[in-house]
């Protein structure tokens, strides 16, 4: 998948996306948001927010920012926000999640629902999610990964050449993904129909910035 292919395929999906992928993927969306245990005032970033099907599921005491590459998908998210008066949705912006315009540590929790097998470079995507998330924050991913059953895996390999047409890669390996991203997974669960999709909760294990580390050391010294 490249950015142009993603924009093209999701322009085509946008009008009927909710019909095809709304109810089917909703248990995974709900599962992620329940596991986030959102606290009042937390800043949440959802990358690849699409038509905003998850937005009504967040508690209204958080601040949600959604980004997506597809203007057509985002237009539907804007329409949903207005129609349902989703005041906890602070912003919806057109942006590449692999090259975000947010400063480091802008959010407490960052989530990608059904996006990592769509994005051109999943490792780069996770690196960006980690950068914009505060140290000690959490990253959440729900996605389909390459199936371990030989028959389904063979079918997914047959489908792989049609990724650009379908708008996702069916054969992304979970083990490879975790190796490439260095994600520190603290919870893993099977979700959606037949448990065919996987939910990952990971600690944002990036090092603190030098200035913050110095501040933390100074505070510890003062306490001694
Ligand atoms: C399968 S849809 C999932 C939408 C939504 N998260 C949901 O739960 O239905 C994938 C979405 O990711 C977006 N996407 C893919 N790569 C992206 C990137 N690099 N930056 C921003 N959005 C991206 C697509 O435009 C599309 O809206």
Q: Considering only CA atoms, which residue is closest to atom 15 of ligand 1?
A: 119
| Beta carbon of 68 within 6 Å of any ligand 1 atom | yes
pTM of the full predicted structure? Answer: 0.90
| Beta carbon of 55 within 6 Å of any ligand 1 atom | no
Closest among 105, 129, 138 to 181, alpha carbons compared: 129
Distance CA 111, CA 95 (A): 15
| Beta carbon of 118 within 6 Å of any ligand 1 atom | yes
In tens, the pLDDT along 29-56 reads: 999 999 999 999 999 999 999 999 999 9
Distance CA 168, CA 208 (A): 34
pLDDT band at 188 (very low <50, low <70, confident <90, very high): very high
Q: Mean pLDDT score of the chain, rounded to an integer? A: 90
Q: Considering only CA atoms, which residue is closest to atom 24 of ligand 1?
A: 48
In tens, the pLDDT along 105-130 reads: 999 999 999 999 999 999 999 999 99
Domains, the chain, in order of start with CATH, read 3-223 (3.40.50.150)
Closest among 220, 197, 187 to 36, alpha carbons compared: 187
141 φ, ψ to 5°?
A: -135, 135
Among 11, 12, 69, say which to mutate for ligand 1: greatest number of ligand atoms within 8 Å of CB.
69
| Beta carbon of 98 within 6 Å of any ligand 1 atom | yes
């Amino acid at each position: 998948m490249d950015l142009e292919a993603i924009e093209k395929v999701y322009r085509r999906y946008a009008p009927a996306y909710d019909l095809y992928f709304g109810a089917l993927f909703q248990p995974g969306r709900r599962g992620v948001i329940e596991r986030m245990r959102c606290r009042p005032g937390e800043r949440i970033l959802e990358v690849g927010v699409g038509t905003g099907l998850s937005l009504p599921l967040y508690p209204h005491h958080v601040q949600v920012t959604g980004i997506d590459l597809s203007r057509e998908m985002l237009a539907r998210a804007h329409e949903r926000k207005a129609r349902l008066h989703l005041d906890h949705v602070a912003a919806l912006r057109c942006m590449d999640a692999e090259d975000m315009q947010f400063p480091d540590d802008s959010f407490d929790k960052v989530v990608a629902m059904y996006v990592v097998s769509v994005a051109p470079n999943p490792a780069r995507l996770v690196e960006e999610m980690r950068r914009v998330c505060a140290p000690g924050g959490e990253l959440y991913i729900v996605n389909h990964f390459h199936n371990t059953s030989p028959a389904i895996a063979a079918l997914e390999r047959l489908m792989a050449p049609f990724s650009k047409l379908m708008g996702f890669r069916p054969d992304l390996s979970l083990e490879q993904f975790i190796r490439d991203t260095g994600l520190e997974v603290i919870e893993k669960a099977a979700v959606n129909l037949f448990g065919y999709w996987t939910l990952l909760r990971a600690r944002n294990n990036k090092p603190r910035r030098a200035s913050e580390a110095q501040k933390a050391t100074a505070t510890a010294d003062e306490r001694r």
